[in-house]
Structure 1
Amino acid sequence: MSKPRSLALPPRTRSLRLATARGSFAVLDTAPDGPRQGTVLLLPGYTGSKEDFLELLGPLTEAGYRAVAVDGRGQHETPGPRGRAAYRRKALALDVVAQAAALGDGPVHLLGHSFGGLVARAAAGLAPDAFMSLTLLASGPGRVARPQRIRIRALRAAFALLPKERVWRATRWLDSRGEEPGAGDPPELVAFLRRRWMLTRIAQLAGAGRLLLADPDGTAALRALPMPLHLAYGDEETVWPVPDLAAAATRTGAHHTVVAGAGHSPNVSHPRELAERLAGFWDAVPGRIEVPIGGNPAEAPS
């Protein structure tokens, strides 16, 4: 989970519902103030939401990219079914393909943070023509580190035994490492985090945890994707082992970004540096689009 530093919407950001062939999804849609270099669809991680990208949206649009962050099905402000089948990998991936189509900008750049990277990988494999590139942010093609696997198992077991409010309190206590829960967080942020937790479907949280625990090594599938690939993470990443991420970048031939001093959420801790590195990668993607204000997509000059 990423924890936003501020809940203020960046300039030119609309909070709206994106109507797709697979339902309506809550999104934050931020437009650049000038010619558009392309569009990026941002998928949040486990227990997270579209607000995880609030600090990143502004810098991305300053670089010329329309940035759209989405709540997946059952996540925060997007409703979702209660049944387990709704949160299987293919169902979530098909949602992303539908979201990309509904944006109306042709192929988009796809970025998945943490668990969102698992979904993004599946979507890119299902419909490669829908995406210009794939970026895995703090997300690997292999298994999460052992402490995270233990945490996910404990969380899934807690949902079967305790009310959601009790699980929230226990999670907050663990996150504070035994300090007073919420110490140092402004009240409006604590209220947001609780609201996000309570709105997110238990089936979504349980299903995402199940997928993270069962995720096979996807290195070969990544290498086979017919699109540019980018692996980005902080050098203090904790959810995936850093050596595994570096090895995956080498094995797949991916563009490789390591953000110095960043942990699991460079999108929050280092948004401007990350945006610069992301835009540099996207700018070099062959066939990228450039859209004048009020114009139609066209191939950028070579």
Structure 2
Amino acid sequence: MGRDGGEVSRRENRAAFLFLSPWLIGFAVFTAWPLIYSGYLSLTDYDVINSASFVGFDNYVELFSDPKIALALTNTLLFTAVQVPLYIVVSLALALLLARAGRASGFFRTVFFLPKMTPPVAVGILFLLLFNGQSGLINTGLGWVGVDGPSWTTDPAWVKPGLIIMSLWTVGSSVLILLAALRGVPEELYEAARLDGAGHWRQFLSVTLPMISPAVFFIVIVNTIAGLQTFDEAYTAFFGAGNTTYGNDAALFYVIYLFQQAFQFLNMGYASAMAWVLFVVIMIITAIQAIVSRRLVHYEGGASR
């Protein structure tokens, strides 16, 4: 029996590896190898045309003296620091409304999620149409209430706020995640809170937020990583068509500058070093968020951990 059981176990293991092999091959070819190769390229001077020449850590040293690195990283961090909390607040507000929508919630779930299906390039073009300082729909609407709208696409002070507002176009997926979390909160917890005299606001703070905190934490992590890699919409709106307005520097995010170095200037080694620096920054920020979450995130069956 033991020998037969061992043979069955080996067959199951082989079958498991067989089913996993497409993913393992894809991971090795499209993720692991590019990651390793980019690490090598970051230590070289490589322009695609000529052979790579080893330069050690010169690319990393150059990063600290490149003023555009500081500009792009600052733009990216500011964008992410404002966009992620606002994204969470809007998503949660819409999820709370949907939770009270009753039978109509199915229709509104679809409506909220549809913009997520819009290609990012189309969103970038839509940004230019909506936020045009002279004829855009946003400024036209502000004009109806007597407000003189800013130059969203040319004034450096308003470029990032405009992009942040436009990013809220795609809150649909987060709304659905939070709605599912809200519906998973046990009703008896609200009943107990009401018996203790808690009002709606106290119930939200003491019951709703702790119970949905794992979902909120997940959305924070995912959107922080996405914010640090912002590219499509900003590039389409400000760089894709050769736009040279002075508002470009305000929209120069880190990944856009990395793209320029790699595919416009063909500085593949330098761009690879930039990619590794971004990877380290994302890992550090994610680790900090994970540490902070131990005090703030509540898991069923126990306190925050």
TM-score greater than 0.5 by the shorter chain: no
Which TM-score tier does this pair reach, normalised by the shorter chain? under 0.3
| Structure with the larger strand share | 1
Higher normalized helix content (fraction of residues): 2
Which structure would you say has the larger RCO, counting Cα contacts within 8 Å and 6 or more residues apart? 2
Question: Considering only CA atoms, is the larger Rg found in Structure 1 or Structure 2?
Answer: 2
